[in-house]
Amino acid sequence: MRVTALRVLGVDPGLTRCGLGAVEGRPGAPLSLVAVGVVRTPADDDIGPRLVAIEAGIEQWLDEVRPDAVAVERVFAQHNVRTVMGTAQAAAVAIVCAARRGLPVALHTPSEVKAAITGNGNADKKQVGAMVTRLLRLEAMPRPADAADALALAICHVWRGGVQNRLAEALAQARSGRTVQSGTGQSKGARR
Amino acid sequence: MRVTALRVLGVDPGLTRCGLGAVEGRPGAPLSLVAVGVVRTPADDDIGPRLVAIEAGIEQWLDEVRPDAVAVERVFAQHNVRTVMGTAQAAAVAIVCAARRGLPVALHTPSEVKAAITGNGNADKKQVGAMVTRLLRLEAMPRPADAADALALAICHVWRGGVQNRLAEALAQARSGRTVQSGTGQSKGARR
């Protein structure tokens, strides 16, 4: 089976700092960094303008990076009750931006990402950052941590998600006749 | 002080059923029903297509109803842990759709809505539905309950939010120079 390189945009969702990191690669081969950064919104702004700013930032990233898939951190209601709703809402914006373009969207839990990158589902942020730096052969650890976490998500998806991803995409295309998405999303072919 | 009628779209967010209800009125005067309904998405679809379908549904409602403001139920992480993330994500989509158009967005808690409509912050769904039916002089209670809840949110906002709303809108316009929203949102004037 021939496996072509996958370009994945990872999103570590957040209202104050939304981490974005794109990598390209395939399982068993060296990975390469495409882009890394964060979209920030002012903590004293209303939720509406903040989500709109995040949407505009992600749209710009999707235009420039042109990923094959988007990996978003799966948010749980149990964790960090104070900020979790904002995190879930930033994640929703990232998911909508990707799905509108017909891109496959994968959700990975923080433990899945840590386990994929470091071999330990309970690894701390520093360890994840160190492995991301090594795997992408960078000179320094990406900062802030949200940017490194977004790269970790993207790497996790390249390693875990390649095959499942193409299956999900095929299923989504087979299904598209019965969802509203078919009218509003762009097909993969039209995106080129 | 002259108070003109406000047209408000209420959104009771949810992935399976997203309630939408629009009313027009002003404090101290009879209210009128503009439109009521739900946007549904299949429970077995992926989160991406579901959020995109909700976005398309809300966009269509905003185009047709042309509200002056949008009121969305405020979601708390403590409640209904199993469904709360989907509810928060549907709410995020509603907030983005409204904020992109430069519409003021207000969040009201379920207790605020129940207290505004029935005088009791712990009222049950049936009581809220009965009061919505009476206040809008409808022949039958709007169904499903999500649709009635969306109308209750809109009525609550007409009664509570009128003045705060215009203040928030003025503030948002004053601020708009420093947010990304100013580049992507439409101004109120351009919307006509």
Closest CA to B84 of A75, A149, A179: A75
Q: Residue A124 sits in which domain range? A: 6-191
Q: Do the interacting molecules here have an ipTM over 0.90?
A: no
Is A63's pLDDT higher than 90?
yes
Query: Does the residue B116 lie in any domain?
Result: yes
Longest dimension (CA), chain A: 52
* Nearest-by-Cβ selection for A99 from B52, B98, B181: B52
Averaged pLDDT score across all residues of chain A: 86
Confidence of residue B170 (pLDDT cuts 50, 70, 90): low
Query: Does the residue B66 lie in any domain?
Result: yes
Query: Does the residue A36 lie in any domain?
Result: yes
Identify all chain A residues contacting B77, using CB atoms and an 8 Å cutoff: 77, 81, 84-85
In total, how many domains does chain B have? Answer: 1
- Searching chain A, which residue's CA lies closest to the CA of residue B84? A77
Residues 132-171 in B contacting A (C-alpha not used; CB under 8 Å): 168
B63 in contact with A, Cβ within 8 Å: no
B26 in contact with A, Cβ within 8 Å: no
Question: Which residues share a beta bridge with B36?
Answer: B21
SS3 A74: coil
Query: Does the residue B117 lie in any domain?
Result: yes
**CATH number, residue B42:** 3.30.420.10
A49 in contact with B, Cβ within 8 Å: yes
Is A70's pLDDT higher than 60?
yes
Q: Is A146 one of the catalytic residues?
A: yes
Query: Does the residue B1 lie in any domain?
Result: no
Contact A186, A100 (CB under 8 A): yes
- Residues B26-48 have pLDDT tens digits of 888 899 999 999 999 999 999 99
Q: Is A139 one of the catalytic residues?
A: no
B12 appears as a binding residue in the annotation:
yes
SS (H, E, C) B139-191: CCCCCCHHHHHHHHHHHHHHHHHHHHHHHHHHHHHHHHHHCCHHHHCCCHHHH
Query: Does the residue B133 lie in any domain?
Result: yes
Half-sphere exposure of B73 (CA within 13 A, CB side): 29
Cβ B88–A92 below 8 Å, yes or no?
A: yes
Phi, psi of B19 (to 5 degrees): -75, 140
Q: Spot the catalytic one: A24, A46, A63, A73.
A: A73
- Residues A114-166 have pLDDT tens digits of 999 999 999 999 999 999 999 999 999 999 999 999 999 999 999 986 555 55
- Give the count of beta carbons closer than 10 Å to the beta carbon of residue A87: 23
Identify all chain A residues contacting B90, using CB atoms and an 8 Å cutoff: 92
User: Can you tell me the distance from the alpha carbon of B89 to that of A39, in angstroms, rounded to the nearest whole number?
Assistant: 19
A175 in contact with B, Cβ within 8 Å: yes
Query: Does the residue A1 lie in any domain?
Result: no
A15 in contact with B, Cβ within 8 Å: no
DSSP code for A66: -
Got the DSSP string for A134-190?
A: HHTT-SS--SSHHHHHHHHHHHHHHHHHHHHHHHHHHHHHHHGGGSTHHHHSPPHHH
- The Cα of B77 is separated from the nearest Cα of chain A by a number of Å equal to 6
